[in-house]
Copies of this chain bind each other. A is one copy, B any other.
Amino acid sequence: MSLRHALLALLTVEPMTGYDLSKAFQASVSHVWHAPDSQIYPELRRMEADGLLVGTEVPWGPRGKKREYSVTPKGLDAFRAWMNEPLSYTRERDPAHLKAAYLEWAEPDAARAQMHAHIDAYTARRDDWRDKVREIDTGTSTMLEQRLAHAPASEHASIRAYKRYTYEGLIARAEHEIEWAERGLALIDELNADAPTAAHRTRADAAPPAT
């Protein structure tokens, strides 16, 4: 149900078409929540059916048309209700840590490659999020500036602060993941210092026991 609320968050700024939304999504929310357009369009229809949005046909060129959605009072209520109730936390499900727990099965070099992939993935995210923070600070984030333009000046500080807070949390998390993977690289080196390749070969034959 998070997609629904992410869309509501964007539409509270101003009415948009599905296409606009999928672009806005990529530019802003996607750093926190990703969704392809094939998920956005049907969800908008469902939200309209549920009375959270109203869609109006807008002419586009001589023959074309597009559908612009705006939030209804009911939609606003739903969004506020979601914001005011705490999330339910689902249990951990993390492929990287799952793999790490059984890393003795991997070739040392494959284990290292895994760690490098982890580092690369989180480095990219960290840089991405750092850009977002910079955009917030310099006022070059289109979505944020539009949101601010539609909000009373008294709230500008909060809006900016929460966005910044969110991305800073994500940056710190990414840095933690990078550190973790770097410790992983050190650990792999340490464990393979004496027997670089022999360890795996014995393991390979160990699992199917000859009965």
**Interface, chain A (partner B; CB < 8 A):** 2, 5-6, 9, 12, 29-34, 71, 73, 76, 79-80, 82-87, 89, 91-107, 110, 113-114, 116-118, 121, 125, 150-152, 154-155, 157-159, 161-163, 165-166, 169-170, 172-173, 176-177, 180, 183-184, 187, 191, 195, 199, 202-204, 206-209
Contact = CB atoms under 8 A, between A and B. Distances in A.
A73 B162 CA distance: 53
A105 B71 CA distance: 15
Given A102-B83, A169-B100, A183-B165, A71 B6 contact: no
Contacts of A92: 31-34, 125, 170
B34 A71 contact: no
- Residue of A91, A117, A195, A199 ringed by the most chain B CB atoms within 10 A: A91
24 contacts: A29-B101, A30-B91, A31-B92, A33-B93, A80-B204, A83-B103, A84-B110, A86-B110, A86-B116, A87-B118, A89-B118, A89-B121, A97-B166, A101-B163, A103-B158, A103-B165, A104-B158, A104-B159, A155-B199, A157-B191, A158-B199, A161-B191, A165-B183, A173-B176
